Structure 1
């Protein structure tokens, strides 16, 4: 290995095992999952640290710099982190650019290392409380009509149909989220990003000059540090081959077209293809089971109204947060039509 990952835990892997495991690890964003260890990033360098699974206690998602996540408030403008708890309770927090990458890593970890807990202690306690509240809510639900029961069953069959190809729903949700984020980003940010990147290049040039003229070591060390911060910050915002209007719109259109082609094979699919996501159908089921609607058309309209009512001032659970983040961009992009 050119760069050997640094161990964060007291336990370490022997050099030959580490080299083999690092080469074969499955990369997810800036981190990775090997057979024997999880590989974590620093602010600048991907997979530069590792922790053997034997030392890992918990791995969970944290949403910060917003009113969302486990604070129970809001849904958007969030910065996702992966938190790894190891040894005697120490934590390493890894920043991610996209929240879905954190979700993908946790899903992979759940399959590869099922013994590792994927929630924080606070989240587990809150989940138990929510479970008890949900059980009370289920017991208090009114008895629904036979027709409503049939509607719930129809929705369940549609959910099962979507679950046969889950990647289509995931692509639909992900593409809608990227489109919404891009449309809500001010174009002036790109000019700011360009200015930041140029400042980074200027700091690099100043650092090289200071090195050549033998200035104090601390001067060009500071300049190179500033250059790295400015350059990386600018590159993360500047348009790329995958991060530009044409690519993002094309990806969203392709995801919707693939879903439209798929639901054509299902007679009388209960929602338009642009909303064909299991979470949408499950929320429609809950609306009917709660007695708020009797058929799928009414249920979809109520789901729309519920989503419209959710904003940064509304408190939600983590489960609700995950659902809304997954489906609300699809409705916003379609203007709830």
Structure 2
């Protein structure tokens, strides 16, 4: 096993490092152990490590192309994990799937609660928002019923955080269902046809090179380009990228959450909406005095989400929350 290189001033003894990396929880190209977080280089997974004692904060950074905002471009969101350590140094790691970043952050939140999970700028904005909410709550003089329901939602949030995979699976499966429903089926079959042509060209390229025929290298390169492009683009219709499989994944995620919340007396929302962000935004609605009961807060939240579309401008922190939960409501038709 390749020994990871140290980032920062602190280091771990070799034996301790080897064991920690071996048993670390893997999230995409990175990993989180008991003693350190393991980060990727451009080509090699978990190539570096930062001892947890050196980590100052860990957060997600999203780069989004114009196509990501309009829905018409070739590129969408580009997720990164950023680890700040020592005195302001940082390491940025690129991820293929944003859900892996979310799972890593959720794992850190549970196992290393002392590590901040937002950038300093985001932290300041969240603190300002919390202050505004407290001020609204003070001025609005909300009822005891609303205060009781806020505490109820807070307890439910803590319960969900005991098994982060359940609500992350729920959110991610809803996203995949939404993306699949919105995509044109013809694109998948066109991609498959081009990939098959690429395979044929690749095979012919090898044959041409072996027999010294002309232009063999061009067929070879075209074939490789087509294969790598579409195999990595999650466009091809495969056993894991078809309607039946995606719908089954969503149903399984809802069923697993249903079983989990059965042990919680009177869980405040249906299993299909059991996500900490949903409950947190319902708390905000209660604090603002826009609702007094939990069912009313859920109805207001649904109306808020319906009103949010591509023409509405929101801050990054709110965007992250919306993309985590709105697909859950969309695939359920806000029922």
Q: Indicate the TM-score class for this superposition, using the shorter chain for normalisation.
A: 0.7 to 0.9
Which of 120, 138, 142 is equivalent to 1:124? 120
Give the secondary structure class of the aligned counterpart of 1:53: strand
- How far does residue 195 in structure 1 lie from its aligned partner after superposition? 2.7
The answer on 1:135 being equivalent to 2:134 is no
Which of 270, 277, 281 is equivalent to 2:279? 281
1:234 is matched with 230
- How far does residue 279 in structure 1 lie from its aligned partner after superposition? 2.0
1:99 is matched with 98
Change beyond 3 A, Cα 1:79–1:165 = same
- How far does residue 166 in structure 1 lie from its aligned partner after superposition? 3.8
Q: Which deviates more from structure 2 when the two are superposed, residues 299-308 or residues 266-275?
A: 266-275
- How far does residue 67 in structure 1 lie from its aligned partner after superposition? 6.6
1:50 is matched with 47
- How far does residue 292 in structure 1 lie from its aligned partner after superposition? 0.8
Q: Which deviates more from structure 2 when the two are superposed, residues 55-64 or residues 16-25?
A: 16-25
2:171 is matched with 173
Give the secondary structure class of the aligned counterpart of 1:80: strand
Q: Which deviates more from structure 2 when the two are superposed, residues 254-263 or residues 7-16?
A: 7-16
- How far does residue 307 in structure 1 lie from its aligned partner after superposition? 0.8
The answer on 1:197 being equivalent to 2:214 is no
**TM-score, with normalisation over the residues of structure 2?**
0.74
Which of 307, 310, 323 is equivalent to 1:309? 307
- How far does residue 304 in structure 1 lie from its aligned partner after superposition? 0.4
Q: Which deviates more from structure 2 when the two are superposed, residues 323-332 or residues 255-264?
A: 255-264
**TM-score, with normalisation over the residues of structure 1?**
0.74
Decide whether the 8 Å contact of 2:106 with 2:164 is kept in 1: no
Decide whether the 8 Å contact of 1:31 with 1:41 is kept in 2: no
Decide whether the 8 Å contact of 1:32 with 1:39 is kept in 2: yes
Decide whether the 8 Å contact of 2:136 with 2:288 is kept in 1: no
**What residue ranges of structure 1 are gaps of 5+ in the alignment?**
none
- How far does residue 215 in structure 1 lie from its aligned partner after superposition? 7.8
Give the secondary structure class of the aligned counterpart of 1:294: coil
Give the secondary structure class of the aligned counterpart of 2:317: helix
Decide whether the 8 Å contact of 2:122 with 2:317 is kept in 1: no
Decide whether the 8 Å contact of 1:13 with 1:52 is kept in 2: no
Give the secondary structure class of the aligned counterpart of 2:141: coil
Give the secondary structure class of the aligned counterpart of 2:47: strand
The answer on 1:318 being equivalent to 2:309 is no
1:256 is matched with 254
Which of 140, 144, 147 is equivalent to 2:145? 147
User: Aligned partners of 1:15, 1:202: CA distance in 2, in Å?
Assistant: 48
- How far does residue 64 in structure 1 lie from its aligned partner after superposition? 3.0
Q: Which deviates more from structure 2 when the two are superposed, residues 262-271 or residues 306-315?
A: 262-271
RMSD: 4.3
Decide whether the 8 Å contact of 1:57 with 1:86 is kept in 2: yes
- How far does residue 169 in structure 1 lie from its aligned partner after superposition? 2.4
The answer on 1:40 being equivalent to 2:51 is no
